[in-house]
Structure 1
Amino acid sequence: MVAATAIKPGSQASTRMPRILLSVDSLAALSVGLITLLITPFLADLYGWTEGFTRFMAAVNIAYGSFSGVQAWLFLRHGRLFRPAVLLLVIANAAWIGHCLAQIWYLYDTATFFGLAQLGLEAIFVGGLAALEALYVLPLTDDRS
């Protein structure tokens, strides 16, 4: 494993991974949230979820994607990452793992295979993002913030 400090701060190599991670984080959440919102009745039936729960999942993804997108834009525009904002992204992703796993347990008897699989895959995806953001983005944050 390469330590984040081995890369010269401010170099193109040091900013590539955070740019990619923050962009993927934001675009994935926004696109999933918007698509889920647009086809809520279909997904609710496919997943065996209520429409209210499906809309909740969409709304959280849109809210998170918006916040993550602001962080990505600020980093692309100004080249700075603020520690509290990045910590919030990492903590939110880690907390969402717990939410997804709790919902698998709670919805086990009523959700379809697709609904349970979606929650499980989302937990894996956001867990990976949390780990990668903690490893590659957090070390580059501005300690003055």
Structure 2
Amino acid sequence: MMHRRARAILWLDGSAACVAGVVVLALHDALAQLHGFPPALVLFIGVVNLAYSCYSGTLAIRASRGHTPTRRAIDILVVANLAWVAVCAAIVASTAGTASAFGLAHVGLEGLFVGALAVVEYSRVRPFARSPDIT
């Protein structure tokens, strides 16, 4: 069975991504103006957050039901987080001349938060994950 703190980290990850995705999609027009981003970019950010939350949320739900994720599942989670850090950095770099300070701060801080989650999940969740060959 997965350690309680490891499950809580998965719940934090999935919940944060879900809330971010829902809020960004619900307010995409206003956020596009506030951020100085094209509306399609804001929609992309919201959709990616929701898609990611489906994966991380599923791991959290399964872990809470006694189905400990595999190390591979956690590795995928960590790599996805690191990939999103790179995307956030690319968004900041490519919109630095046109985006508002709020938009740059929002995406930059999201990248930092997700990067921190990757580190915490690798160090605090992965050790409690099961080997892939154990069912």
Q: Same fold (TM over 0.5)?
A: yes
1:36 is aligned with what amino acid? Answer: V
- Calculate the aligned-residue CA RMSD, in Å: 1.1
What percentage of aligned pairs have identical amino acids? 36
Which stretches of structure 1, 4 residues or more, deviate above 3 A after TM superposition?
Answer: none
Deviation at 1:144, TM superposition (A): 3.1
**Distance of 1:144 and 1:79 partners within structure 2:** 12
**What residue number does 1:17 align with?**
5
Deviation at 1:24, TM superposition (A): 0.5
**Distance of 1:68 and 1:77 partners within structure 2:** 14
- Equivalent residues in 2 for 1:1-145 (5 A)? 10=1, 15-145=3-133
- If the length of structure 1 is used for normalisation, what is the TM-score? 0.88
- Would you say the 8 A contact 2:72–2:132 is kept in 1? no
Deviation at 1:83, TM superposition (A): 1.6
- How many pairs align? 133
1:70 is aligned with what amino acid? Answer: T
**Distance of 1:16 and 1:91 partners within structure 2:** 23
- Would you say the 8 A contact 2:9–2:121 is kept in 1? yes
**What residue number does 1:7 align with?**
none
Structure 2, gaps ≥5 residues long: none
- If the length of structure 2 is used for normalisation, what is the TM-score? 0.94
Structure 1, gaps ≥5 residues long: 1-9
